Amino acid sequence: MDNSEPNREACDAVTLDNPKLGTLQEIVTRRDALRLAGRRVVLTNGIFDLLHTGHLFYLQKARALGDALFIALNGDASTRALKGPKRPVQNEEQRAYALAALACVDAIFVFNTPRLDAEIRAVKPDIYTKAGDYTLEKLDAGERAALQAVGARIEFMPFLAGFSTTNLIAKIKAAGEI
């Protein structure tokens, strides 16, 4: 019997107060207020399952491009679709809470759609970032079109090779066998 499952259920039942987490409409309202103040918004997206050095490096670099960093967080359903049935390790509320603890993150919203086209068109970021393991050709064509439609600059941030959630999970598993 896996003793972690009862603990996972207990963790999943905890409600975490997170003022940086909002609905898409709430995030759009925050974005509109920043635009009126002449502030530039950077948007990125991802799963951010277990925060690690690569994530932290990337998010700090992304935030430095503008006045506020908004994160579109893959919801649990979209994470499972992308990574398989055993992921995410932490649910979307827990992942959003961890991201919100970072000073470089200003706002977070969860999305469960396969692509961000509608969210990009709603948020209208000034700058959109992805880690350096992405290229313009690897970005989804619909997302690229949405970014072009709202006039967002696309930036690829430095990538720290060897830092990934998949590698971290493998290291944790190996450490458990020592």
| CA–CA gap between residue 152 and residue 128 (Å, rounded) | 6
Tell me the per-residue pLDDT of 32-43, one tens digit each, with 9 for 90 and over: 999 999 999 999
Torsion of CA 82, 129, 162, 167, to 10 degrees: -30
| CA–CA gap between residue 87 and residue 46 (Å, rounded) | 13
CA distances from 29 to 36, 49, 67, 148, 178 (A): 11, 27, 16, 21, 50
* Confidence label for 149 from pLDDT (cuts 50, 70 and 90): very high
DSSP secondary structure code for residue 60 in this structure: H
Domains and CATH numbers, the chain: 16-176 (3.40.50.620)
Tell me the per-residue pLDDT of 52-95, one tens digit each, with 9 for 90 and over: 888 899 999 999 999 999 999 999 999 999 888 988 989 999 99
| CA–CA gap between residue 98 and residue 71 (Å, rounded) | 12
Per DSSP bridges, beta strands 107-111 and 68-74 are parallel
| CA–CA gap between residue 75 and residue 63 (Å, rounded) | 22
| CA–CA gap between residue 97 and residue 112 (Å, rounded) | 17
pTM to 2 decimal places: 0.85
